[in-house]
Amino acid sequence: MATFLTPLVSIKPTVFSFPSQSVTSPHRQTNVLSLKPFPSLAGAQSSRVRFIPHAVETEEKPASDPNAESSRRVYIGNIPRTVDNEQLSKLVEEHGAAENVQVMYDKYSGRSRRFGFATMKSVEDANAVIDKLNGTTIEGREVKVNITEKPIASSSSPDLSLLQSEDSAFVDSPYKVYVGNLAKTVTKQMLENLFSEKGKVVSAKVSRVPGTSKSSGFGFVTFSTEEDVEAAILALNNSLLEGQKIRVNKA
C-alpha cells in the first residue's frame, strides 16, 4: 500500500492594530473604545456649573468731585455790551481768585452777547462771586450770576430735562412777540438779553420739537406793556442774531 504524505500548512492568525485599546484572548479579540469627556466639560466633573440668567455686571460710578470745573464755573449774564474780558476779570477778581474769565461774542457781528463765564480756583471763590455780584447793577443793568444757568453750547447736546424746565417756567402775557427764523444755537437767555434792550422782558422761550432738544426755529418773548412790544418789533425785526435775520411780530 502506498503512503501519501500531505504537507501541513501552518496558518498564523493576523492581528490588526486599532487606535483604540484592545483586549485579546485565545478565542476572540474585542475592541474596547476609550471614551474621554469633552474639553468644555472636563473641568466641570470636579465642580458644579451654575448658570445665572440675565446676570449683568454693573460698575459703581465714583462720586462727583465737588471741586470739578463745572462746580467752579460761574455764569454772568445781562452785562452791558461795553464790558470786555479785562473789565469782567477785574470785576470778578474783586471777590475771588479766577483761572479764566471770558465774555462771549457773536461770531458774525463781533458784538458782545451780554454774558460771560468765569472759572474760579475754588468752589468758595465761585460762591463768593455769586453772593457779591448777583443782583448788582452795572450801567443800569441788573447782573445775573449763578452756577447752573448758562447758555447751551452748540457743540454739545443740551440737557432735555433742563429745556423742559425752562419751557414750564415760561410766563405768558397778552403783550407777546413771535420771533422766527432763529438759528439752532439761539437759547432762551439770548432772547432775553437781546429783547431787554428795548423793553422790560417778562419771559422768553425757544420752541423745541416735542420730545427732543432740537430747536423748532422760533420762540416767544413776553413784555409788561404794549409799548415795549411795539418798540421791540420796530427795532429788532430783520436784525441779526447768531448770523441770521430774525422776524419779529405780534404773537
Q: pLDDT tens digit string along 218-235? A: 999 999 899 999 999 999
Task: In the chain, list all ranges with CATH 3.30.70.330.
Answer: 66-147, 176-250
DSSP 247: E
In DSSP terms, which residues pair with 195 in a beta bridge?
Answer: none
Mean pLDDT of the chain: 75
The CA distance from 220 to 250, in Å, is 10
Lowest mean pLDDT among 62-71, 153-162, 164-173: 153-162
Q: Which residue has the cell 496558518?
A: 11
Side-chain-side CA neighbours of 52 within 13 Å: the count stands at 3
Q: Region 110-120: what's the mean pLDDT?
A: 86
- Determine contact, residues 230/175, Cβ cutoff 8 Å: no
Give me the helices (H) in the chain, please: 39-42, 69-72, 85-93, 123-133, 160-168, 188-195, 226-236
In CATH, 176-250 is 3.30.70.330:
yes
Torsion of CA 146, 152, 156, 159, to 10 degrees: 80
pLDDT surpasses 50 at 210: yes
Among residues of the chain, what percentage have pLDDT more than 70? 63
Of the candidates 248, 234, 251, 242, which has an alpha carbon nearest to the alpha carbon of residue 105? 242
- Determine contact, residues 123/132, Cβ cutoff 8 Å: no
Find all residues with CB under 8 Å of 121, minimum gap 6, and list them: 72, 96, 97, 98, 99
Q: What is the pLDDT of residue 214?
A: 82
Q: What is the pLDDT of residue 41?
A: 45
What topology does CATH give the domain 66-147? Alpha-Beta Plaits (3.30.70)
pLDDT surpasses 80 at 175: yes
Q: What is the pLDDT of residue 148?
A: 53
Q: What is the pLDDT of residue 234?
A: 94
Among residues of the chain, what percentage have pLDDT more than 90? 35
- b/e code 215-226 from CB counts within 10 Å (16+ = b): bebebbbbbeee
Higher pLDDT among residues 126 and 19, named by residue: 126
Torsion of CA 76, 77, 81, 85, to 10 degrees: 10
DSSP 73-120: EEEEES--TT--HHHHHHHHHTSS-EEEEEEEE-TTT--EEEEEEEEE
